[in-house]
């Protein structure tokens, strides 16, 4: 045993790497190692021999295992020290750059519009995207024979045979939110209703799902003059011009009376839209004084309160402001085109009136 002890302690001390150390462990205390084989011989000894040899073999095995563990730790420390000597990291260096995210043009314009109207005292109202036929049409004074109520223009939800509940539709405008706001809050009221809307249409300037923002203001002394001021202030702020000329053209909407399409003076020099100058006119939205029947449908007395409403497509004014030619590009294009139109991750307006960085 003395020879085995001297042999393996010497070999372990001289081992230069983990592979050599593992080979020594197998030779000494592995299943067929020299010390393990001697321990198997204990069964062939007399009790007196076992009593003498057993403790000595166990002590030798434990000493060898301890030496193996100590040498393994020493080798690992040596490897680590060498790595620390040859490898280093400067923690004062800036971190690696990460790809920057960006706001989608629709999200950015949504927030821009909301912030502008918030400065004029308009709150934000929201409502369901699946609406009853009453909220989407009847409450807004849209008659049963109106083309918008045809299935070729509006998405109706499926009804199982025998289900006689009133029809429900994917809302075709955010005007139902105005009715719900009047029901919930009464008058006076000043709110905008941004959101997704749906119509069965698809071309360069129409998509089946798009975004609108509609505005509503009701009080006892509101007039078309108030509507004109609000829209002028909005256009100047959104298109970032100091002066703008609006043209109100008589039109017809079932939910307003009188009704007006609103055009802005502009020019198209070099294919670029410039608002507030030139000899051209561009239609941007519809508006008017809220029809008395719509006010009554919202649970408010039309003999006491009157007001105005307007609606504008968020997608379309985004196209105009940022020079995006095709409405469908918002939904089916590689989003790398955002950079081409100037959309970066920095300096984006937020609802607090500051910048998101």
Do 289 and 283 touch, CB atoms closer than 8 A?
no
Higher pLDDT among residues 317 and 204, named by residue: 317
* pLDDT greater than 90 at residue 176: yes
What's the pLDDT score for residue 79?
Answer: 87
DSSP string, 272-330: --EET-SSEEEEEEEEEEEPHHHHHHTT--TTT-EEEEEEEEHHHHHHHHHT---TTHH
- As separate numbers, helices (DSSP H) first and strands (DSSP E) second, the chain gives 12, 12
Instruction: Tell me how far apart the alpha carbons of residues 344 and 355 are, in angstroms, rounded to a whole number.
Output: 12
Instruction: Tell me how far apart the alpha carbons of residues 157 and 172 are, in angstroms, rounded to a whole number.
Output: 13
Average pLDDT over every residue of 266-280:
81
Rounded to whole angstroms, what are the CA distances from 280 to 94, 229, 263, 264, 274? Answer: 52, 21, 10, 8, 10
Do 324 and 341 touch, CB atoms closer than 8 A?
yes
Q: Distance of alpha carbon 159 from its chain centroid, rounded?
A: 33
What's the pLDDT score for residue 194?
Answer: 94
Confidence of residue 101 (pLDDT cuts 50, 70, 90): low
Q: Which two tokens stand for residue 285?
A: 């939205």
What's the pLDDT score for residue 351?
Answer: 44
Q: Which two tokens stand for residue 253?
A: 């909407």
Higher pLDDT among residues 67 and 215, named by residue: 215
For residue 79, give the H/E element and its range: helix 47-86
Arithmetic mean of pLDDT over the chain: 83
Do 307 and 257 touch, CB atoms closer than 8 A?
no
What's the pLDDT score for residue 36?
Answer: 77
Orientation angle between helical segments 18-29 and 2-14, nearest 10 degrees:
170
What's the pLDDT score for residue 235?
Answer: 93
Q: How much of the chain, in percent, has pLDDT values that exceed 90?
A: 36
What's the pLDDT score for residue 343?
Answer: 59
DSSP string, 99-163: PPP---HHHHHHHHHHHHHHHTT-EE----SEEEHHHHTGGGT--TT-GGGSTTTS-BPP--TT-
Give the pLDDT confidence of 147-163 residue by residue, as tens digits.
776 766 788 888 888 88
Confidence of residue 333 (pLDDT cuts 50, 70, 90): low
Instruction: Tell me how far apart the alpha carbons of residues 290 and 140 are, in angstroms, rounded to a whole number.
Output: 10
For residue 77, give the H/E element and its range: helix 47-86
Do 318 and 329 touch, CB atoms closer than 8 A?
no
Rounded to whole angstroms, what are the CA distances from 196 to 66, 205, 347? Answer: 73, 16, 25
Confidence of residue 27 (pLDDT cuts 50, 70, 90): confident
């Amino acid at each position: 045993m003395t020879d085995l002890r001297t042999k393996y302690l010497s070999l372990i001390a001289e081992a230069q790497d983990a592979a050599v150390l593992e080979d020594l462990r197998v030779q000494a205390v592995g299943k067929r190692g020299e010390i393990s084989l001697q321990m198997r011989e204990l069964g062939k000894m007399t009790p007196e021999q076992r009593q003498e040899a057993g403790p000595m073999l166990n002590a030798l095995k434990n000493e060898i295992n301890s030496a193996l563990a100590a040498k393994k730790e020493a080798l690992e420390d040596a490897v680590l020290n060498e790595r620390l000597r040859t490898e280093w990291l400067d923690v004062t260096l800036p971190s690696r750059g990460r790809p920057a995210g960006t706001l989608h043009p629709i999200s950015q314009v949504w927030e821009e519009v909301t912030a502008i109207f918030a400065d004029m005292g308009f709150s934000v109202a929201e409502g369901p995207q699946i609406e009853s036929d009453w909220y989407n049409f009847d409450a807004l004074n849209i008659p049963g024979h109106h083309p918008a109520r045809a299935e070729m223009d509006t998405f109706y939800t499926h009804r199982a045979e025998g289900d006689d509940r009133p029809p429900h539709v994917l809302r075709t405008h955010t005007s139902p939110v105005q009715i719900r706001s009047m029901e919930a809050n009464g008058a006076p009221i000043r709110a905008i209703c941004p959101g997704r809307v749906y119509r069965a249409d698809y071309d360069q300037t129409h998509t089946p799902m798009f975004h609108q923002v509609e505005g509503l203001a009701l009080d006892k002394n509101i007039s078309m003059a108030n509507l004109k001021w609000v829209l002028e202030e909005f256009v100047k702020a959104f298109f970032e011009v100091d002066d703008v000329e609006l043209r109100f053209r008589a039109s017809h909407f079932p939910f307003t009376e009188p009704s007006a399409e609103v055009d802005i003076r502009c020019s198209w020099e070099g294919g670029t839209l410039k608002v507030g100058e030139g000899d051209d006119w561009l239609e941007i939205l519809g508006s008017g004084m809220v029809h008395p029947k719509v006010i009554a449908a919202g649970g408010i007395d039309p003999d006491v309160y009157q007001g105005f409403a307007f609606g504008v497509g968020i997608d379309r004014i985004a196209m105009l402001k940022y020079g995006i030619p095709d409405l469908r590009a918002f939904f089916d294009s590689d989003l790398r085109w955002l950079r081409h139109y100037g959309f970066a991750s920095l300096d984006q307006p937020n609802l607090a009136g500051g910048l998101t960085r």
